[in-house]
Structure 1
Amino acid sequence: MENRETLSALTRVAVVLAGALQGVICYVITWYIEYAKLPSDTLWLMCVVPATVVMTTTLSLAMTSFRKPFLWLSLGMIGAAVAGMGGWLKWSVAGLESWNLRDEMLVFGFHLLLMTLFVLPWLQRRLDPVPTTSFYSDFYQRNWHNALTLLIIFVSNGLFWLVLFLWAELFELIGIGFFDRLFFHSDGFISVAIGVVSASAAVLTRMQVRLIHALQNLLTLIATGLLPLMAALALLFIGALPFVGFESISARISAAGLLTTLALLLLFLVTIVWHPQRQTLPYYAPLRGMIRLAVAIVPAYPVLAGWALWLRISQYGWSPERLYGVLITIVALVWAIGFCASALIQRREPQKIHAYVIPATGLLSLIFLALVHTPVLDPWRISVASHMARYQDGRITADQVSLYMLSNAGRKGREAMLTLQNDPQFISNPKRQREINGLLSRNAGGAGKMTAAMLEKQVQLAPGMAHPDKTLWQAMLSNQYRFESCDSAQSNCLLMPLDLNSDGKPEAVLFQFTDRTIVAYTQTNTGWRIAGDAWKMPEALTRGELDRALRQRKVKSVVKPWADIEIFGERVDMSYDSYNNAQWR
């Protein structure tokens, strides 16, 4: 590990300047994107900015000297790899809305952070002038140091901006708004300040190694106290499972996530407590035995999680979340099997196996994270292919095709929707045809594709009702999301006249059986408008029952028993429903 003598003053200054340069580059790129009115998925934002941030972060945490060609070669390779993954992301998210693109960029940034943490220990050891410890011990310590450095960077930024917030607010009290504009409304200052503060915090942690070790020891003590509790939980759960049955696991949607989290947390605590300098666990014999037993059975949890995931995949197909779940479960299984072997085979010298398992798990995680941002394990490519295969095989119907998922799946989702647009079976339903045409024209929900004439064809009229004028259908289009599911073939929308305000003029009341809603329109001097609605029909009411009620004249308006209040001619609307329907009344 670095110490005060191995990080020269010139290196420290260079790290801080690199942080400032990162801020300047990010600011200039974002300014240019706005100035040139470039799209939000431009290569500048998706390739250059991530590559710059990752390269400067790696430089800040790994550089010990300028005179090491391997450092610059590594930075170039890392920058090229990140830019390549960003280029694939740009290609795959083509067609997404800006808010969905923002979510994808956040996920990409989080994955880059994890990949940087996995790469750094290998690079740092390669750049270390004279490694003085064994590989596993050095690998372990560097992972600790990098994780705590990241924590201190976040804390430092939080405290820095808290001070600036106090600074700006105090001067706002006396009418000086300059500092508020400078600190929080100047993109250049914000970008450079974050880079400088982060780089300074990185230098601080690399210089104050003893303080970092003290923080590491404190967290290790906390983990030492939590490990027996986690081991007891793991044993109790696996012991209770045969009595309650495995069906309870398959019934829970979050079962795989809970089981994998338990396994990863137990393995994480064991790794912290059973560090390379410790040959035996620091507990009394009964607790040591309990923890060893928990480590021996921990592979059962990833196996159960994988089984639960496979049930979901066989039922509903692949999705990005399920793909991530499978990859995490594989990593947990490799980690768990390695530790299980150390507890059963190398009982006296478990560190011999740990020295291979932990680095291998880190490398496997790094490989998975990288492949997720390539065509090999692209989550949206796999999800869309799975969904379309299920539709083409007949495992799901046209109504079960998730246009929402496809519309948020980028390029591959759009290609799938183009296929559906030309599929006679899929577009045989007018509602589905409107939806997919609207989504392909970047008009969510098909809004603007439905016309008054189309809506009139999809809504059935009650027997004896005269055809309403076109102004009613035009008024209904302003809330057409309520009527998107209307389909004359399914007879799920019925329009009938009913006088609801005793003025002698019937309102137009539409019963929508798919969403189980009722909407009433009234005609005024300015045209038709919504007069009221109900979001819940009687549970037993079907279209057939409503037709029977109409024939028997059992559909009628009912005057509400509670009245409003009038004071000097001014009416006060009173709301009674929530009190009359309250369970405790």
Structure 2
Amino acid sequence: MPSLRLMLIALVQGVVLYVCGQLSSAPMTDAQQAMLASTFTLFAFGPTAYYLCEHSAAPRRQVALLLLAAALIAALAGYSHWMGQAGSTSERFNSLGRVQLVSLALWVLALPLIQLHADRRALTDYPALFRTSWRDAILVIDAAVFTGIFWAVLFLGAQLFGVIGLSFFRDLIRKSAFAWPATTVCFAYAVQLCRRHAVMVESIQRHALSACKWLLPLTLLIGAGFVLALPFTGLKALWATRYAATLLLWLLAVSVLFINAAYGDGSEAPGYPRWLAALLRLFTLALPVLAGLALTAMWLRIQQHGLTIERIWGVLVALTGCVYALGYALAALRGGAWLGGIGRVNVAVAIGLLVAIALLASPVLEQHRLALNSQLARLAAGKVSAEKFDYDALRFDMGRPGRAALAKLAADTTLANHAEINRRATLALAKTQRYGDNAKGADFDTVLASTKLYPTGATLPADFIDYARAHRDNFISLACKTNDAATCGLIVLDLDGDGQPEILPAVPQYRPQIYARTAAGWQTIGYLEISLRGCHDTTDADAATATAAKPLWNDLLIGQERWMVIPDRAADCDTNKKP
């Protein structure tokens, strides 16, 4: 029978998570949202950790350690969410998602250490730490599979009842008030069920370790073969992928996982033939090269574009990979037991990673500030121009510090090219979403003031401005590429030689409309059709040289139909020339 105490804890957990979900969409201050994120983190992971390590030689000591860890991680989650808030509801949910991933990583690293400490075992007791970590992982996977099957059966029942016209069951399981408590209670029950079948858990663990162990030779062979091929292929093709670090780190992560599976708790040899064990030692020496290349790729990217939130975490992962790779390579060079000593490397990396993640989520090395300072330093040093600086990254990716920095940029008149910086920072602050119709939500006068006019010195006629104000959406669709106020531009040019200007977009897209003054006032008189495509895409810089040009060919008039010649010179472009 399941433990009544755990079932009640799971029920309370589900109810609290449901209440947090309901409150998440309600109007709240930033501080209240941070407290809600902290509460959600506390109840999402705290009780779950308790289910996994219920049995202990010192239960009170274990509960005290779990409560301390839950409080610290929840506090970090609340602070990180408060710093990462960028305004809109969707951004709050994105911030909460990142916070929960960080909290999950902290719990994965901390829980085995807590279990060892609660049993009064030393952190250097690697065999116990290995068994605890793998047992927790298998319990979570088994419980998640059980919970998934539970929900599949519920949906099957709902479909069957629906066939005979009874929808109450389907309506019930779709309600979040049922879904949250049902899921937590089911998960807690599944953990207890799996724990009572210790033989099954151990059997699954042996099969998983065995499968990983025999995939290790293939993985290390791929890594070593890649390293040996580099002197002949060079690094240019690798850097050109723009995701070299991701590929290398995934290969490194899989190699580390499989090496640990083969090594086990260190009490037994992995069972490889002697020649294969020696060959794997040799192949392990390729890991530092892979890790070094991943770190180099990451560094080159940072040199080019500065730090972002994603790159900060990427650097942490790359540095962790380097420590693993160097530690495992040194273990491979030493004699004695196969890769003896990697247990100490694993414990050191786990503790170091736990501290590093906590620091990045805390005020000490707050991730948003690190990324922001890097980007602002690039702007101040002139490494990126005011026109190409990513103001949207400050607005949407760097949370509270990013918004504060944008406000300062919008008001600072001492900066070089301050007019352009102020204009773009103001527009970024006014955005409510990163992509989409941002210009349509902005004030008309703000959009008009941000619209660049070409050729240089051109001005919009006063009556056109009045017309545009009355037809605001049409004006924005004409002037603003992708409806983004930061990309608005118009060409004011006399195309028909009547002394009156026509208005058209600075960077024409598909069949853009042309506005002209007529006897009835300003209105569209047609659209543009490209008659001769150049070898390069049109940019804002090209709009400054816009002129009226005579047609290359006269139109053809057949009866009342007018045909125009569309020249085809695409073959003149270098990219289209055949060898």
Mark yes or no: TM-score above 0.5. yes
- What's 1:569 paired with? none
| Offset of residue 398 of structure 1 | 0.8
Q: Which SS does the other structure have where 2:285 is aligned?
A: helix
What is the distance in 2 between the residues matched to 1:461 and 1:292? Answer: 68
Which residue is equivalent to 2:568?
Answer: none
> Is residue 2:145 matched to residue 1:155?
yes
Q: Per the alignment, do residues 455 and 508 of structure 1 end up closer, same or farther by CA in structure 2, a change over 3 Å counting?
A: farther
* SS of residue paired to 1:493: strand
CA distance in 1, matches of 2:322, 2:392: 33
| Greater Cα offset, 453-462 or 210-219 | 453-462
Are 2:83 and 2:399, in contact at CA under 8 Å, matched by a contact in 1? yes
Q: What pairs with 1:475-494 in structure 2 (closer than 5 Å)?
A: 475=471, 477-478=473-474, 480=476, 483-484=479-480, 493-494=490-491
188-197 or 474-483: bigger deviation: 474-483
- Alignment match, 2:193: 204
Contact 2:453 2:492 survives alignment (8 Å): no
Q: Of the candidates 221, 224, 230, which is equivalent to residue 241 of structure 1?
A: 230
| Counterpart residue number, 1:290 | 279
C-alpha change, 1:70 and 1:534, in structure 2 (3 Å) is farther
Residue among 347, 360, 377 paired with 1:372: 360
1:381 to 369, 381, 384: 369
Cα gap change, 1:33/1:107 in structure 2, threshold over 3 Å: closer, same or farther? closer
When the two structures are aligned, how many residues end up with a matched partner?
Answer: 540
Who is 1:226 aligned against? 215
Post-superposition CA distance 1:105-150 (Å, at most 9, x none): 1122122222212122122223348x79992111111111111122
- After TM superposition, which residue ranges in structure 1, 4 or more long, deviate above 6 angstroms? 131-134, 461-467, 522-527, 533-537, 555-561
TM-score normalised by L of structure 1: 0.81
1:496 & 1:168 partners in 2: Cα distance?
66
Q: In the alignment, what sits opposite 2:468?
A: 473
- Aligned CA distance change for structure 1 residues 432 and 275 (closer, same or farther; 3 Å): same
- Aligned residue identity for 1:253: R
Contact 1:263 1:301 in 2 (8 A): yes
Q: Is the 8 A contact 2:410 2:421 kept in 1?
A: no
Structure 2 distance, partners of 1:375, 1:518, is 52
AA at the equivalent of 1:519: P
**Unpaired runs of 5+ in structure 2?**
562-575
Deviation at 1:415, TM superposition (A): 1.5
Give me the whole-angstrom Cα distance separating, in 2, the residues matched to 1:404 and 1:556. 47
What is the Cα deviation at residue 410 of structure 1? 0.9
| Alignment-derived partner of residue 14 in structure 1 | 5
User: What displacement does 1:430 show?
Assistant: 6.8
Q: Is 1:135 paired with 2:132?
A: no
Q: Which residue matches 1:114?
A: 105
3-state SS of the aligned residue for 1:494?
Answer: strand
Match of 1:401 in 2: 389
Q: Tell me what 2:380 maps to.
A: 392
Residue 499 of structure 2 corresponds to residue 510 of structure 1: no
Q: What residue number does 1:424 align with?
A: 413
Assess if the C-alpha contact under 8 Å between 1:279 and 1:350 holds in 2: no
1:365 CA drift (Å): 2.2
Deviations 1:360-401 (A, max 9, x none): 222222222222211233322111100001111121111121
Kept in 2, the 8 Å contact 1:249–1:255? The answer is yes
Identity of aligned residues (%): 22
Q: Confirm or deny: 8 A CA contact 1:234 1:262 kept in the other structure.
A: yes
Cα shift at 1:189:
0.8
Change in CA separation of 1:431 and 1:393 when aligned onto 2, cut-off 3 Å:
closer
Distance 2:206 2:401 in 1: 49
Residue type at the aligned position of 1:377: L
Distance 2:57 2:12 in 1: 17
Aligned residue in 2 for 1:96: 87
1:520 aligns with 2:509: no
SS of residue matched to 2:504: strand
Q: Secondary structure at the match of 2:534?
A: coil
1:299–1:435 CA distance, 2 compared to 1 (3 A): same
Q: In structure 2, what residue type is equivalent to 1:480?
A: I
Which residue number in structure 1 is paired with residue 566 of structure 2?
A: none
Gaps of 5+ in 1: 1-8, 500-505, 564-582
Question: What is the letter of the counterpart of residue 25 of structure 1?
Answer: V
| 8 A contact 2:455–2:545 mirrored in 1 | no
- 1:59 alignment partner in structure 2: 50
- 8 Å contact kept, 1:26–1:191: yes
Deviation of the 1:271 alpha carbon: 0.8
Q: Deviation of residue 531 (structure 1)?
A: 6.2
Structure 2 distance, partners of 1:283, 1:161, is: 42
| 1:163-562 paired onto structure 2 within 5 Å | 163-184=153-174, 186-276=175-265, 279-345=268-334, 347-350=335-338, 352-408=340-396, 409-424=398-413, 433-443=422-432, 445=438, 447-451=441-445, 454=449, 458=453, 469-470=464-465, 472-474=467-469, 475=471, 477-478=473-474, 480=476, 483-484=479-480, 493-496=490-493, 510-513=504-507, 519-521=512-514, 528=523, 538-539=533-534, 542-543=542-543, 546-547=546-547, 550-552=548-550
Q: 1:67 to 1:215 in 2, by over 3 A?
A: closer
For the 8 Å contact 1:462–1:496, the answer to whether it is kept is: no
Q: How far apart are 1:519 and its partner, in Å?
A: 1.7
1:459 positional shift: 5.4
What does residue 580 of structure 1 align with?
A: none
Say if 1:276 and 1:188 are closer, same or farther in 2 by CA, change over 3 A: same
Separation in 1 of the partners of 2:159 and 2:289? 55
Q: Residue 69 and residue 189 in structure 1: after superposition, are their counterparts in 2 closer, same or farther (change >3 A)?
A: same
Mapped partners of 1:234, 1:213: distance in 2? 31
Distance 1:66 1:464 in 2: 82
Cα 1:132/1:481, change in 2 over 3 Å: same
The 8 Å contact of residues 227 and 269 in structure 1, kept in 2 or not, is answered as yes
Q: What amino acid maps onto 1:120 in structure 2?
A: L
Q: CA-to-partner distance for each residue in 1:172-206, whole Å, 9 max, x for gaps?
A: 2222221122101x222111011101111211222
1-side partners of 2:341 and 2:97: how far apart? Answer: 36
RMSD (Å) for aligned C-alpha atoms? 4.0
1: distance between equivalents of 2:417 and 2:188? 60
For residues 203-249 of structure 1, the C-alpha deviation after alignment (integer angstroms, 9 at most, x for no partner) is 12222111111111222222133111111101111101112223333
* Displacement of 1:67: 7.2
Alpha-carbon distance in 1 for matches of 2:110, 2:21? 28
Distance of 1:62 and 1:202 partners within structure 2: 10
Q: Structure 2: how far apart are the matches of 1:420 and 1:386?
A: 15
Deviations 1:493-515 (A, max 9, x none): 3245779xxxxxx99561424x7
Are the counterparts in 2 of residues 507 and 521 from structure 1 also a CA contact under 8 Å? no
For residues 535 and 416 of structure 1, what CA distance do their matches in structure 2 show?
Answer: 42
Tell me the CA shift for residue 256 of structure 1: 1.3
> By how many angstroms is 1:551 displaced?
4.8
